[in-house]
């Protein structure tokens, strides 16, 4: 019986050995990147220890992937009584080759990060077609020789230890006696049970966690120091993840029109000539007055279509709290979301870039850098916080937001388990309840703060409290009433706080949803959203409904204009109080649209079909394409193409 478990022990020892080697590479990475850490983090052992633990977590994912096939083979062979000495040779070959590739990624990652400031990722495949030049670059640079030598030493040592482990296993099997010709039922059951348990543990290790989502790069991000966050990611994991990410259809480069033409048209509409070294649409914004150190609270409301509100004609009295705020705010009647997903709303609202069809710009193992509301305010001395209801890994939010200006992230991991109501985490009521004392604590510290709260209750599956289960009203309406009340209760509670008088509250939908029947190829309800700025510091003359077109990309420049903060703007938004949009543009996955006061143009990217509508009393009426629609077509296609080009060029920050 003892003989049956020896191959399993061999696999466990190989697994631990691999973790040890990958951790050793991490030590080398830390020693070379350590100089990039600021003084307060350079020797903060708690943070360094957490980064190494995160690294062990990610290393275990890779090790479990590589152990799965041998474990399955050993399990089948052990149950059948077929395991023989040759099995160790096969396993040694498998582990020797696969870990040689893993160690190659670990070794190459050290100089790669030192040069590019990013982990090894799919960009290396761009050099694959230039084999001679690439090899010359690697072997022609003396600084790489140490890492090349380290790689070969590590592989040789690992293979030598593999052979020792297998020889030891063979000797132990020999000491246990010859393998029986047939196994007893008891031994077979024990072997099968052991294999099943280890395979289950291996699959869990591959998934990386028990939560709703499998492990992503975002899980390693826990602070605002790039070195410590990246220290926790296994380079091979990052390389594979980013390669798969590059293959997704939504991440392919757009080809709506030539990039130079698109950029030129965008410059013309935004009236910008660009800043050398930053981007062709960047500009310096220098307000005349002194900066106002006001707190800013941004509430992004899940699926809040304008058509759900009484202020926009809804007769069901679903949003009395929002309607009351709308009538006392600087409100925009014609605001449109960038896309139809939450990640689009966050991306456009906070960083001023349009959604590029259904691409999730926040996802990906290579976390991009953007300049926006959180980065500018943080540079101005603000504390920046983000509150969400669900897991912080969702849509890669943790990594993206920490990389781009947010110091503190509060998510499902921070809330009591009994407050979680569905797979999207806690309710809106608890989100606001949790956030209020955090805001109070930061207000007492004397620094202004930016807090962003992302609601979720108005997203299926709906969890409607009993008090809001109104007979005769569909759950879709009941949940809107509940979400509205949660915001009303939060605003009432905030009004009793000392910091309320020095705070601007920004409320807008992250996107819309289907309300009523579809009236055209891209119904307005999906993108038409409420947008309002409320607060005592707001000048009385601004507290009215503004009829001009607005898009989510305009939120950041408009807020920074209200705060009179100087900054370098590099996004597609305008200050709605000082500039005017001729039209709104937006998208819904593979459909994009632009509208002005009398026309609506819709383009389906997959079918290459165009849909033109005349707007009569706000209602779309199909009509033929005419020269009047050409300007709308160019307005949406050019800006999406320009945005894609800037992203591809990495020109999304406010720094050269």
In this predicted model, what pLDDT tens digit does every residue of 331-358 receive, in sequence order?
A: 999 999 999 999 999 999 999 999 988 7
- Residue among 10, 168, 164, 1 at smallest CA distance from 81: 1
Residue 618: pLDDT band (50, 70, 90) is confident
- Show the tokens assigned to 209: 């966690």
Residue 182: pLDDT band (50, 70, 90) is low
| Per-residue pLDDT tens over the stretch 586-601 | 998 888 999 999 999 9
**Range with the poorest average pLDDT among 34-48, 129-143, 421-435:** 129-143
- Residue among 409, 363, 359 at smallest CA distance from 389: 409
- Asked if the model's pLDDT at residue 129 lies above 70, the reply is no
DSSP one-letter code for 613: E
- Asked if the model's pLDDT at residue 116 lies above 70, the reply is no
pLDDT of residue 136: 62
- Asked if the model's pLDDT at residue 130 lies above 60, the reply is no
**Range with the poorest average pLDDT among 112-116, 192-196, 205-209, 289-293:** 112-116
Residue 560: pLDDT band (50, 70, 90) is very high
pLDDT of residue 319: 98
| Euclidean distance between CA atoms 267 and 641, whole angstroms | 13
Task: Write b or e for each residue in 506-518: b if 16 or more Cβ atoms lie within 10 A of its Cβ, otherwise e.
Answer: bbbbbbbbebeee
- Asked if the model's pLDDT at residue 128 lies above 80, the reply is no
Output phi, psi for 7, to 5 deg.
Answer: -60, -35
pLDDT of residue 9: 93
Average pLDDT value for the chain: 91
| Euclidean distance between CA atoms 61 and 207, whole angstroms | 7
- The CA dihedral of 42, 43, 44, 49, to the nearest 10 degrees, is 100
pLDDT of residue 534: 98
Going by C-beta distance under 8 Å and a sequence separation of 6 or more, which residues neighbour residue 315?
Answer: none
Going by C-beta distance under 8 Å and a sequence separation of 6 or more, which residues neighbour residue 624?
Answer: 612
- Asked if the model's pLDDT at residue 211 lies above 80, the reply is no
Output phi, psi for 213, to 5 deg.
Answer: -110, 145
- Asked if the model's pLDDT at residue 180 lies above 60, the reply is no
Going by C-beta distance under 8 Å and a sequence separation of 6 or more, which residues neighbour residue 559?
Answer: 296, 373, 504, 506, 533
pLDDT of residue 177: 66
Helix or strand run (H / E) with residue 242: helix 235-247
**Range with the poorest average pLDDT among 169-183, 273-287, 517-531:** 169-183
DSSP one-letter code for 356: -
Output phi, psi for 594, to 5 deg.
Answer: -145, 145
| Euclidean distance between CA atoms 427 and 435, whole angstroms | 12
More confident residue, 283 or 120: 283
pLDDT of residue 313: 95
- Asked if the model's pLDDT at residue 142 lies above 80, the reply is no
Q: How far is CA 200 from CA 54, 179, 207, 215, in A?
A: 21, 27, 11, 16
Cβ–Cβ < 8 Å for 608, 360 = no
- Residue among 415, 371, 358 at smallest CA distance from 391: 415
Mean pLDDT calculated for residue range 322-326:
98
- Show the tokens assigned to 440: 């109070």
Sign of CA dihedral 230, 236, 241, 242: positive
- Asked if the model's pLDDT at residue 222 lies above 80, the reply is yes
Task: Write b or e for each residue in 184-197: b if 16 or more Cβ atoms lie within 10 A of its Cβ, otherwise e.
Answer: eeebbebbeebbee
pLDDT of residue 261: 97
- Asked if the model's pLDDT at residue 371 lies above 60, the reply is yes
Mean pLDDT calculated for residue range 221-238:
88
Peptide bond into 461 cis (omega under 30): yes
More confident residue, 246 or 91: 91
**Range with the poorest average pLDDT among 165-169, 220-224, 529-533, 650-654:** 220-224
pLDDT of residue 137: 58
- Asked if the model's pLDDT at residue 127 lies above 90, the reply is no
Mean pLDDT calculated for residue range 378-404:
95
* Start-end of CATH 3.40.720.10 domains in the chain: 257-649
| Euclidean distance between CA atoms 3 and 147, whole angstroms | 41
pLDDT of residue 101: 97
Going by C-beta distance under 8 Å and a sequence separation of 6 or more, which residues neighbour residue 59?
Answer: 18, 19, 22, 23, 26, 234
pLDDT of residue 263: 98
- Residue among 301, 372, 267, 354 at smallest CA distance from 552: 354
pTM: 0.81
Most confident by average pLDDT, 139-143, 206-210, 253-257, 372-376: 372-376
E strands of 464-502, at which residues?
A: none
| Per-residue pLDDT tens over the stretch 457-506 | 999 889 999 999 999 999 999 999 999 999 999 999 999 999 999 999 99
- The DSSP line for 149-216 is HHHHHHHHHHHHHHHHHHHHHHHHHHHT-PPPSS--HHHHHHHHHHHHHHHHHHHHHHH--SSSS---
| Euclidean distance between CA atoms 600 and 436, whole angstroms | 42
pLDDT of residue 210: 84
3-state secondary structure of 608: coil
3-state secondary structure of 91: helix
Mean pLDDT calculated for residue range 127-138:
60
Q: Which long-range contacts (CB under 8 A, 24 or more apart) does 67-74 make?
A: 67/11, 67/14, 67/15, 67/202, 68/199, 68/202, 68/203, 68/206, 69/94, 70/11, 70/94, 70/95, 71/8, 71/11, 71/195, 71/198, 71/199, 71/202, 72/195, 72/199, 74/7, 74/8, 74/11, 74/195
Going by C-beta distance under 8 Å and a sequence separation of 6 or more, which residues neighbour residue 629?
Answer: 599, 601, 610, 612
- 545-551, strands of its sheet edge to edge: 408-410, 383-387, 449-454, 295-301, 503-509, 528-534, 330-336, 545-551
Helix or strand run (H / E) with residue 549: strand 545-551
pLDDT of residue 453: 98
- Asked if the model's pLDDT at residue 81 lies above 80, the reply is no
Q: Which long-range contacts (CB under 8 A, 24 or more apart) does 496-500 make?
A: 497/436, 497/439, 497/440, 497/443, 498/443, 499/295, 499/439, 499/440, 499/443, 500/536
- Asked if the model's pLDDT at residue 131 lies above 70, the reply is no
| Euclidean distance between CA atoms 560 and 291, whole angstroms | 9
| Euclidean distance between CA atoms 615 and 623, whole angstroms | 10
| Per-residue pLDDT tens over the stretch 100-115 | 999 999 999 998 887 6
- Asked if the model's pLDDT at residue 212 lies above 60, the reply is yes
Cβ–Cβ < 8 Å for 479, 318 = no
- Asked if the model's pLDDT at residue 617 lies above 60, the reply is yes
- Asked if the model's pLDDT at residue 323 lies above 90, the reply is yes
- 619-623, strands of its sheet edge to edge: 584-588, 591-595, 599-604, 609-616, 619-623
| Euclidean distance between CA atoms 466 and 469, whole angstroms | 5
- Residue among 390, 282, 379 at smallest CA distance from 346: 390
User: What CATH code is assigned to 257-649?
Assistant: 3.40.720.10
DSSP one-letter code for 233: S
3-state secondary structure of 464: coil
| Euclidean distance between CA atoms 83 and 8, whole angstroms | 11
3-state secondary structure of 507: strand
Residue 621: pLDDT band (50, 70, 90) is very high
Please report, rounded to a whole number, the percentage of residues in the chain having pLDDT higher than 90: 71
């Amino acid at each position: 019986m003892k003989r049956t478990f020896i191959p399993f022990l061999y696999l466990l020892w190989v697994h631990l050995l691999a973790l040890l080697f990958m951790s050793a590479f991490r030590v080398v990475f830390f020693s070379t990147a350590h100089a990039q850490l600021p003084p307060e983090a350079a020797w903060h052992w708690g943070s360094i220890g957490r980064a190494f633990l995160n690294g062990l977590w990610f290393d275990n994912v890779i090790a479990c992937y590589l152990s799965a096939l041998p474990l399955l083979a050993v399990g089948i062979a052990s149950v059948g009584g077929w395991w023989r000495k040759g099995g160790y040779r096969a396993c040694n070959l498998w582990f020797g080759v696969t870990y040689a590739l893993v160690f190659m990624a670990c070794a190459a990652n050290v100089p790669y990060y030192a040069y590019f400031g990013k982990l090894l990722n799919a960009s290396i495949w761009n050099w694959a077609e230039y084999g001679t030049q690439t090899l010359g670059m690697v072997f022609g640079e003396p600084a790489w020789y140490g890492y090349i030598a380290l790689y070969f030493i590590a592989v040789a040592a690992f293979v030598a230890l593999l052979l020792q482990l297998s020889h030891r296993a063979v000797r132990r099997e020999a000491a246990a006696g010859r393998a029986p010709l047939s196994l007893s039922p008891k031994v077979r059951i024990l072997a099968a049970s052991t294999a099943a348990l280890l395979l289950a543990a291996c699959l869990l290790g591959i998934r990386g966690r028990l939560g709703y989502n499998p492990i992503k790069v975002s899980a390693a991000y826990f602070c605002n120091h790039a070195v410590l966050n990246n220290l926790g990611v296994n380079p091979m994991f990052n390389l594979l993840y980013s390669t798969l990410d590059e293959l997704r259809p939504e991440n392919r480069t757009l080809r709506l029109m030539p990039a130079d033409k698109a950029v030129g048209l965008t410059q013309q509409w935004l009236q910008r000539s660009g800043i050398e070294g930053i981007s062709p649409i960047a500009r310096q914004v220098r307000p005349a007055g002194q900066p106002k150190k006001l707190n800013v609270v941004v509430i992004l409301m899940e699926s809040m279509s304008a058509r759900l509100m009484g202020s926009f004609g809804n007769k069901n009295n679903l949003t009395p709290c929002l309607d009351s705020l709308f009538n006392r705010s600087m409100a925009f009647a014609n605001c449109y979301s960038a896309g139809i997903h939450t990640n689009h709303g966050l991306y456009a609202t906070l960083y001023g870039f349009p959604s590029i069809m259904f691409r999730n710009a926040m996802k990906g193992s290579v976390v991009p850098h953007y300049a926006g509301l959180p980065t500018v305010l943080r540079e101005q001395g603000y504390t920046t916080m983000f509150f969400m209801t669900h897991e912080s890994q969702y849509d890669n939010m943790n990594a993206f937001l920490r990389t781009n200006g947010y110091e503190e992230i509060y998510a499902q991991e921070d809330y009591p388990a009994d407050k979680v109501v569905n797979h999207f985490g806690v309710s809106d009521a608890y989100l606001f309840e949790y956030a209020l004392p955090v805001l109070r604590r930061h207000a007492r510290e004397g620094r202004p703060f930016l807090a962003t709260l992302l609601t979720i209750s108005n997203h299926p599956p709906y969890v409607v409290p009993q008090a809001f289960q109104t007979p005769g009203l569909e759950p879709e309406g009941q949940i809107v009433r509940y979400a509205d009340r949660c915001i009303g209760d939060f605003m009432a509670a905030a009004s009793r706080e000392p910091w309320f008088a020095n705070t601007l509250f920004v409320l807008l939908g992250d996107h819309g949803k289907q309300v009523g029947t579809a009236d055209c190829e891209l119904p307005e309800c999906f993108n038409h959203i409420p947008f309002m700025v409320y607060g005592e510091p707001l000048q009385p003359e601004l507290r009215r409904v503004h009829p001009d077109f607005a898009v989510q990309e305009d939120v950041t420049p408009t807020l920074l204009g209200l705060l009179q903060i100087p900054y370098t703007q590099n996004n597609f938004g305008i200050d709605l109080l000082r500039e005017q949009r001729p039209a709104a543009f937006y998208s819904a996955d593979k459909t994009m649209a632009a509208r002005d006061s009398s026309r609506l143009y819709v383009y389906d990217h997959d079918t290459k079909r165009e849909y033109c509508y005349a707007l009569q009393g706000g209602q779309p009426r199909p009509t033929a394409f005419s020269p009047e629609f050409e300007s709308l077509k160019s307005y949406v296609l050019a800006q999406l193409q320009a945005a894609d080009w800037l992203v591809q060029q990495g020109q999304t920050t406010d720094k050269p």
